[in-house]
Chains A and B, each alone.
Chain A
Amino acid sequence: MSDLSQQVKARSPFAEAWDMFRRNHAAMVALAVLGLISIGAVVGPYLYPTDPFDMVWAPFSPPGEQGFLLGTDYLGRDLLAMIINGARVSLLIGLAAALVSIFIGVTVGALAGFYRGWVEEVLMRITEFFQVLPTLLFSMVLVALFGASLPMITFAIGIVSWTAVARITRAEFLRIRELEFVTASRAAGAGAGKLMFGVILPNAMPPIIVQSALMVGSAILFEAGLSFLGLTDPNVVSWGQIIGSNRQYILDASYTVTIPGLAIFVTVLCISLVGDGLNDALNPKLRQR
């Protein structure tokens, strides 16, 4: 028996999922690209210290000319510097907004799925209320009312996108709370908080992780949409804002719009591919022994 247990190498569920994930080439490439973008966002401004607000040259200098790799925008600002600095804001808002909505969604879904009864009724009606709100309009109202600061934009995106997480979490809780190990934990003296977040939630994580990954992408898109409409902090650069401020010149200098657009497209695509890879890796039905 001890021979056998030596052969069966002890692997945590995490290691197992990573093994599955590695086999998905598209997801691995996407993860690598995302890694590069993130590194660029973190160290880029130090390697390329041009101020994105500085008017360094004449407007609409095409990419590759006059020493500007991506050209200049309508005010003669260096587009490369704007893209690099914009990556910070776009990724940060994407991550932070996703965190906000995961936090709200998991809390609401966990309470509803665990307590059932009137708690579930009330929470799920609230969730439905948020589901039927026109999301873009609602977040525009929030930002317009409370000011276009980064925290407010993050919150406005988070508050309109938590419903999917809440519903997924609740569904998982409803399934898992009936399993025998939950009763066993109860019989071992675990309290409600421990049962919810120490026993059930770790088992509910796979679909929540996948949903969260996808949500980072949609939050980035959402932020781009808001800044395109001008609802953005004027003191920072984001990809959507570059598109928004250059949108009048789309026919004359299309690169000022397509380059930040491409940045958004690549980032969100990579996030989706990673999310897809996570789904395959974490879904027990697709996992082979």
Chain B
Amino acid sequence: MSLLSVKNLRIELKTRAGVAPVIDDLSFDLDAGESISFVGESGCGKSMTALGLMGLLPQGIGRVAGGSISFDGEDLTTASEARMRAIRGNDISMIFQEPMTSLNPVYTVGEQIAEVLREHQKLGRRAAWSMAAELLDAVRIPNAARRVSDYPFQMSGGQRQRVMIAMALACKPKILIADEPTTALDVTVQAQIFDLLRDLRRDIGTSIILITHDMGAVAEMADRVIVMYAGRKAEIGPVDTIIRHPRHPYTKGLISCVPHIQTPLTDARPDLTEVPGIVPSLQEFGADACLFASRCTLRTEQCTSARPVSKAFEQHHEAECWHAEDL
């Protein structure tokens, strides 16, 4: 049995214009120790998936409208708030996009890491503190024993993200959700953070759910990838397979958007490519049609009149596109 099994998940968001399904019929499995990645543009429901898994949807605005999230055999959609609190930070933890603002400015980083340990592992004050110093060392912050009593403002963005990772991994969670962990960091730091995450994943055996819009990051970090578009799963499969042979025009577009410095621009590839158009507005979510149709060069009658069904290919590769076979 897989560690996390999401079945037909539907998350609705209340907007001024009505209720929109920001996650529409999403199913996937995550095995222990596996790394899966969600890719897509802004507004495709990646972060909502993460918040939904954590039970942290904005109160009164977002709710799980259907489906199940089964973690270790327990359905999280029906779990009590107290039970969710015990899971958060302990079994499933999360790191965020903005390391500059994700740490509480009035506490030292050591206090913040120790707090998680005291809450979940019931460690004493002193034990938690020395554990915090060890964790800082584990995320490769130099001079950890002293920096543990630094305040967040004394650290750089990359260091703060390391602190966040230390906090998230303090209780050796089964799943780590990383919501665009490197978007706010510069490229060299980004590579270091990915190295760190990979090593920690190997050491602790944590499964990682990486949320990103960067196909390059996916190729580097993940075993499998889920391409999200407008709240729907466009394509799912092993990273290698999908990068080699995408079966959805959106995936194809995302891959071609990654600049290759070494390959010179040719006639066939005259410029940096982009996917034309933008993600449809929330009102159009949930329509019985392919939501990518307006931006797709392969559009036919069928695309605008019916929602594509999932088509399976070899190696557990699935795509929701009427033209998947032709690609």
Which chain A residues have a beta carbon within 8 Å of chain B's beta carbons? 1-2, 5, 8, 10, 12-13, 117, 179-181, 183-191, 199, 202-203
CB interface residues, B 125-155, toward A, < 8 Å: 142-143, 146-147, 149-151, 154
Kindly provide the distance from the CB of A179 to the nearest chain B CB, expressed in whole angstroms: 6
* Neighbouring A residues of B93 by C-beta, 8 Å: 187-188
With A181-B101, A183-B56 already in contact, the answer to whether A188 and B150 are too (CB < 8 A) is: no
Secondary structure class of chain A's binding surface, majority of residues: helix
Contact with A along B85-100 (1 / 0, CB 8 A): 1111110011011100
Is the interface on chain B under 10, 10 to 19, 20 to 34, or 35 or more residues? 35 or more
Q: Are A10 and B149 in contact (CB under 8 A)?
A: yes
Kindly provide the distance from the CB of B181 to the nearest chain A CB, expressed in whole angstroms: 12
* Neighbouring B residues of A8 by C-beta, 8 Å: 154
Q: Are B90 and A189 in contact (CB under 8 A)?
A: yes
Kindly provide the distance from the CB of B14 to the nearest chain A CB, expressed in whole angstroms: 14
The listed residue with most B CB atoms (<10 A of its CB), out of A13, A183, A187, is A187
Kindly provide the distance from the CB of B69 to the nearest chain A CB, expressed in whole angstroms: 15
Kindly provide the distance from the CB of B151 to the nearest chain A CB, expressed in whole angstroms: 7
Kindly provide the distance from the CB of B89 to the nearest chain A CB, expressed in whole angstroms: 4
**Cα distance A71–B115 when bound, in Å?**
60
With A180-B102, A181-B102 already in contact, the answer to whether A188 and B89 are too (CB < 8 A) is: yes
* Neighbouring A residues of B164 by C-beta, 8 Å: 184
CB interface residues, B 106-123, toward A, < 8 Å: 106-107, 115-116, 119-120
Q: Are B151 and A187 in contact (CB under 8 A)?
A: no
Question: Whose C-beta in chain A lies nearest to the C-beta of B84?
Answer: A189
Question: Whose C-beta in chain A lies nearest to the C-beta of B99?
Answer: A180
Q: Are A188 and B167 in contact (CB under 8 A)?
A: yes
The listed residue with most B CB atoms (<10 A of its CB), out of A13, A186, A189, is A189
Which chain B residues have a beta carbon within 8 Å of chain A's beta carbons? 54, 56, 60, 85-90, 93-94, 96-98, 101-107, 115-116, 119-120, 142-143, 146-147, 149-151, 154, 164, 167-168
Kindly provide the distance from the CB of A20 to the nearest chain B CB, expressed in whole angstroms: 15
Can you list 23 A-B pairs with a CB-CB distance of less than 8 A?
A2-B143, A5-B146, A5-B154, A10-B149, A10-B150, A180-B97, A180-B101, A181-B101, A181-B104, A184-B94, A186-B56, A186-B88, A187-B56, A187-B93, A188-B93, A188-B119, A189-B85, A189-B86, A189-B87, A189-B116, A189-B119, A190-B89, A190-B119
Q: Are B143 and A203 in contact (CB under 8 A)?
A: no
Which one of A2, A117, A199 lies within 8 Å of B104 (CB-CB)?
Answer: A199
The 5 closest A-B pairs by CB, nearest first: A189-B89, A188-B89, A189-B88, A187-B94, A180-B101
Q: Are A5 and B106 in contact (CB under 8 A)?
A: no
* Neighbouring A residues of B56 by C-beta, 8 Å: 183, 186-187
* Neighbouring B residues of A1 by C-beta, 8 Å: 142-143
* Neighbouring B residues of A188 by C-beta, 8 Å: 88-89, 93, 115-116, 119, 167-168
Question: Whose C-beta in chain B lies nearest to the C-beta of A191?
Answer: B85
* Neighbouring A residues of B96 by C-beta, 8 Å: 180, 183-184, 187
**Cα distance A181–B56 when bound, in Å?**
14
**Cα distance A54–B188 when bound, in Å?**
81
* Neighbouring B residues of A12 by C-beta, 8 Å: 151
**Cα distance A184–B116 when bound, in Å?**
11
**Cα distance A184–B106 when bound, in Å?**
14
Kindly provide the distance from the CB of A178 to the nearest chain B CB, expressed in whole angstroms: 10
**Cα distance A187–B98 when bound, in Å?**
14
Which one of A5, A187, A199, A202 lies within 8 Å of B143 (CB-CB)?
Answer: A5
* Neighbouring B residues of A190 by C-beta, 8 Å: 85, 89, 119
Q: Are B151 and A13 in contact (CB under 8 A)?
A: yes
**Cα distance A191–B56 when bound, in Å?**
12
Kindly provide the distance from the CB of B94 to the nearest chain A CB, expressed in whole angstroms: 4
Which one of B97, B106, B168 lies within 8 Å of A202 (CB-CB)?
Answer: B106
Question: Whose C-beta in chain A lies nearest to the C-beta of B50?
Answer: A187
Given contacts A10-B149, A180-B96, 12 further A-B contacts (CB under 8 A): A5-B143, A5-B150, A10-B150, A180-B102, A181-B104, A184-B96, A184-B103, A188-B89, A189-B88, A189-B90, A189-B119, A203-B106
Kindly provide the distance from the CB of A82 to the nearest chain B CB, expressed in whole angstroms: 44
Q: Are A187 and B54 in contact (CB under 8 A)?
A: yes
**Cα distance A236–B87 when bound, in Å?**
57
Q: Are B89 and A187 in contact (CB under 8 A)?
A: yes
Question: Whose C-beta in chain A lies nearest to the C-beta of B91?
Answer: A189
**Cα distance A56–B119 when bound, in Å?**
64
Kindly provide the distance from the CB of B269 to the nearest chain A CB, expressed in whole angstroms: 38
* Neighbouring B residues of A187 by C-beta, 8 Å: 54, 56, 88-89, 93-94, 96
**Cα distance A203–B107 when bound, in Å?**
10
Question: Whose C-beta in chain A lies nearest to the C-beta of B101?
Answer: A180
Kindly provide the distance from the CB of A207 to the nearest chain B CB, expressed in whole angstroms: 14
Kindly provide the distance from the CB of A94 to the nearest chain B CB, expressed in whole angstroms: 28
Kindly provide the distance from the CB of A241 to the nearest chain B CB, expressed in whole angstroms: 42
* Neighbouring A residues of B60 by C-beta, 8 Å: 117
Question: Whose C-beta in chain B lies nearest to the C-beta of A12?
Answer: B151
Kindly provide the distance from the CB of A217 to the nearest chain B CB, expressed in whole angstroms: 27
The listed residue with most B CB atoms (<10 A of its CB), out of A181, A185, A191, A202, is A181
**Cα distance A185–B154 when bound, in Å?**
20
Question: Whose C-beta in chain B lies nearest to the C-beta of A202?
Answer: B106
With A187-B93, A188-B167 already in contact, the answer to whether A5 and B147 are too (CB < 8 A) is: yes
